Structure 1
Amino acid sequence: MTITFNHTIIAAKDRNESARFFRTLFELPEAPSWGPFTNVQLPDGVLLQFAEPPVEIQMQHYAFLVDDDLFDRVYRRLREQGIEHWADPQLTRPNETNTEHGGRGVYFKDPAGHGLEMITRPYL
């Protein structure tokens, strides 16, 4: 068997709010959830499991490779919902996208404060 990425647990202040944010923004269907997790499944089968840990949440970075059409729709939702976004990971170029690596990219935060990145071309 080859190795594939299966799932990750993402700390959330409100697991349902964070899962809803991802589903709505990235146009993902609801997934079966269980125990302390509210799940979101990506089209390739990777499961994002949102949970509310009993500790202070440390910011993490999650990058998503999307096609140009989804990028346009998600970026439009970011602007319509007034979600702060930047062209760079240092957050110095607000309300912009970038054209690094032959594609487009944007950085923003989820409800728990995690740094999200959306790109249309992989770095490698």
Structure 2
Amino acid sequence: MNRNKSLGTRGENAAASYLTELGWTVLDRIWSCDEGELDIVAHDGLRHVVCEVKTRSSTDFGDPLEAITQQKALRLRRLAWRWARAHGVSGAGIGVDVIGLVTDRDGFAIEHVREIC
């Protein structure tokens, strides 16, 4: 496994643990269809939430959340609807969040932004 893939996997694992610590239920990890992939789909106790995970080893080249463009956010929304349809869930109430992680001494610094689109 290359270094970037390994960092991404560690970040996704840390994000899933973070959500579990919040009391959320992780329903799906790395769900994919012909249009793309969702990192995490969870339930926050009220509704389903798609979580895009962006992991960086530093902020030397920008904050991980800066990687979410308007185009990427809209693609995540379309994928959320696809996931909802595939699982018999109403897509109207599904949220889209981003979790940005940057490595630090203790593991990861985590920033969670709700409702990006």
Larger helix proportion of the pair: 2
- TM-score, normalisation: structure 1: 0.30
- TM-score, normalisation: structure 2: 0.32
Larger radius of gyration: 1
Larger strand proportion of the pair: 2
